[in-house]
Every structure is written in structure tokens, then in C-alpha cells.
Amino acid sequence: MGGMMGGAMFKRTASTLVFKDLVGNDDLSPELVTPYNPPETPNADDLIFELTLPSIQIPNADLLLHADCNEQEVVCEISRYVPRGAEVDSLPAHFIGSVQLEGGGISLTLVLQTLHNETTQSDTQPLMQSKLNLPLSQSGTLLTEVVFVVFSRVPSIVAPIGSDVLLDCGFRQKNSIPGQDVALEWRIQHRGNGRKILDIKARETETDVGQDLFVDREGTSAEADLLVRDGNASLTLRRLKVTDEGTYICTVGSGEFQTQQIVQLHITQPPHITLSEEKLVFQDSTPQKLSCHCHRYYPLDVQVEWFSQAPSEEEPVSLSKESSLSSHRQHSDGTYSLSSHLHLRPDKNPPGTVITCRVSHPALETLSDATLTVGKPDPSKIYIYIFFTNMIYVNSLLSMKLVNEKKSTFHMQSN
């Protein structure tokens, strides 16, 4: 836990977050929830936030309960929060909490509001939390309720170039006021640059939903009526380009609360793989060049390997160390191309040898192979080659003989 937004600044401190009413959410039963056992002796130095959700349902909350079974870690951070129009030290106190599942899943940003201590028959003063100076419950917890939450059920998404994608974002609020303005802003940040791509200020009237809309990217939309009535703040992006990749920030403001959620968008395009030759036949002892072309892929991470397997071999043999790579070529659409070259010798690659170019890339679900088989030379072409070789040899001999005869004639005339 750390200080934030005008609250008292202090070092990070280990804290515990206890969700008390998750069983009130859909599809959750008490049998799924591990009961929380507070410390036997309350300690003023402990930071234990006990959350109740009296009227807010957290979507996909069961993922938090199943995190251990799915070998996922729940990452949580809590800071002080000051609502709009409130004083820094006013009561009730507010906190903002970020809860994420590592490796994918639900991501939450919660606004917590402290509750009054439960009534007791004792006249003793409640134990005060040493760092926050706030009263603790009899079990030593800081009682709070969730009054505002912004969430994403898909905080990271991968989509191909040219497709349409929905960036999931939503919010819930306790005791929202009918007709109250809801503000939604989507921003993109990538490689140090950021810009606003959509801004909506929506309100529900007696007949429909009014809105003020700003859009900075063609094919971008969010639904104002879904935002106001259902808390759906999702963003639609159509006809994705490489330049759409980045970190998207969904910021929702309603009443005195405003917070945000982050969605990562990764763009991909699998490489199109071709070989420079459809057939490979050695007519003589001259090595031949074979190229493997990887066309228009994204992102840049691509790996090319070469293998050969002669008819007499049981396993493929790697030829990657004998290959060379061209530099990456970037196209106007942001995709890349690359070629790998290999020189093959006939003595090491007899007819029937299978040559394989194997490509791996994040956009490929499995390794992609391009293969060809070394063919047998055409006997007629070999005969023609030998014939022309012999003709060249005979012509060379005749030329040498004529030169010698001319030299002899010139010598006799001189005498």
C-alpha cells in the first residue's frame, strides 16, 4: 500500500484485502469461498481491508477464487483516494485498489469507502490503525465497501491486421443518480507517444440518451446508451492497422468518482512463406542457392531454420549454421519481410533429399514448413551437357591446331 492523490505519503506496506460478499455474485456459492480467519489478537500495525459489496456485482469474480487452482497469482495494490470535491482528510475515508490476475483474466480498479464501526456493548475506544489513524473493527480489520469499480474481463488481447476488435471495459457504481453525466475517455499510448482517440459525455434523459462525442480515429466507436444504462464502456476498433497497437486507457467518471482500466492490444500478422525454387536438380557438381522468403509479418520476431534429410538418414540434419539472413525490410503498412539463403552441394544432397525451411513467429500457432525434394537429373540434359562440353573441347583443339599451323607458315616465309 502507498500514498496517493493528496493522501498522506508513506512507504509501501504489506496489506491484506478480504472480499466478504463475493458469494452474492452470480454463479458463486459459499462452498467455493475460503473463509477468512482474522488474527486472534488485533494489531494496530496490520493493514487488513475488509470489503463488502452490498449492491455491486463484480463480473467474473469466480476467477479470483480459482486463481490458486489455475496457478495464477493475484496482484493487489491499495492507495489513498480523494473523490472530486472532497477534502483530503474528510470522512468517510476513501481508497483505490487495483486487483489483477497475472497471466490474463479479470482486472479491477476499486474505489473503497470506509464504514462505521459495528456497534458494541462496550464503551472502550476502538483500536486505531497506526498508519491511517482510522478505527478498526473488533477483529482488527478496516471495514470498507466498494462504491465504484472499473473493470476489464480481457485486459490483454491479440488481433490480426485488418480485423475488428472489442476492447472490454465496464463500470459499476453504488447509488448512481438518474440523469447523472457519465464521462468516458479512451487514450492510446505506444512507444512514448499518446493521444486521445475517443471522448464521450453521456446522460440519460426522459426519452433517450444524449451525448457529446469526440472521435480521433476512423472506425472507432462506443455506445452511449450502453454506457449509461449498462455500465458498458467497451471500445470498438475496425480495420486494425499496425499503428493501432499499444496500451489503451479506459477512464470512466461518474459523480464524485473517476478511475481507469488498462487494456493491452497486440497486433499480429503471420508470415507468408515461399521458396525461391519449386524444383531442385543438380546437373553437375555446381552448388545451387535456395532462398526462403518470409513475406509481410508482424511483429518483428521471426526465426528461420533449415533442415535436410537424405533417403539414408533417419533424422533431419540442421543446416541453419550454413545459412545467411537478409536484413528486415519494412513495408508501408508496418509489416516486415525477410529472406534466408542456403547454398546446397550435390555431394551432400543426393536425389531424394528433403530440404525444409522451418519458420516460427508469434502469429503462427504451430511451426510452418516449406519443403522441396532434390530431384534426379534428366539423362537427356546430361547427354546434351556432355555433348556441348565435348564440342567445346574439340573446338578448342582445332583452334590451337590452326594457330600452330599459322605460326609454322609464317616461320617458313620468313626464312
* Mean pLDDT of the 320-337 span: 96
pLDDT of res. 8: 45
pLDDT of res. 143: 94
- DSSP secondary structure letter of residue 68: T
* Pairing of β 107-114 and β 317-318: unpaired
- DSSP secondary structure letter of residue 63: H
Please tell me the number of Cα atoms within 13 Å of 229 on its side-chain side: 11
pLDDT of res. 6: 40
Which has the higher per-residue pLDDT, 397 or 170?
170
- pLDDT tens string 57-111: 877 877 887 777 777 888 899 999 999 988 888 899 999 999 998 877 899 999 9
pLDDT of res. 31: 63
Q: What ranges in 139-293 are assigned the alpha helix state H?
A: 224-230
pLDDT of res. 105: 83
pLDDT at 339 over 80: yes
Average pLDDT over the chain reads 86
Alpha carbons 157 and 91: distance in angstroms, whole number: 40
**SS3 state of residue 389:** helix
Cα 242–chain centre separation: 13
Winning range, highest mean pLDDT, from 201-205, 263-267, 390-394:
263-267
- pLDDT tens string 144-180: 999 999 999 999 999 999 999 999 999 999 987 777 8
Cα 264–chain centre separation: 6
Grid coordinates 551437357 are at which residue? 385
- DSSP secondary structure letter of residue 243: G
Percent of the chain whose predicted confidence (pLDDT) is above 90: 61
Please, which residues have CB within 8 angstroms of residue 263's CB and are 6 or more apart in sequence? 152, 154, 155, 156, 157, 167, 168, 169, 247, 248, 250
Residues 407, 412, 414, 415, CA torsion sign: positive
Residue 281 burial by CB count (10 A; 0-12/13-18/19+): exposed, middle or buried? middle
pLDDT of res. 79: 93
Q: What phi and psi values does residue 335 have, to the nearest 5 degrees?
A: -80, 170
Grid coordinates 464503551 are at which residue? 123
pLDDT at 414 over 90: no
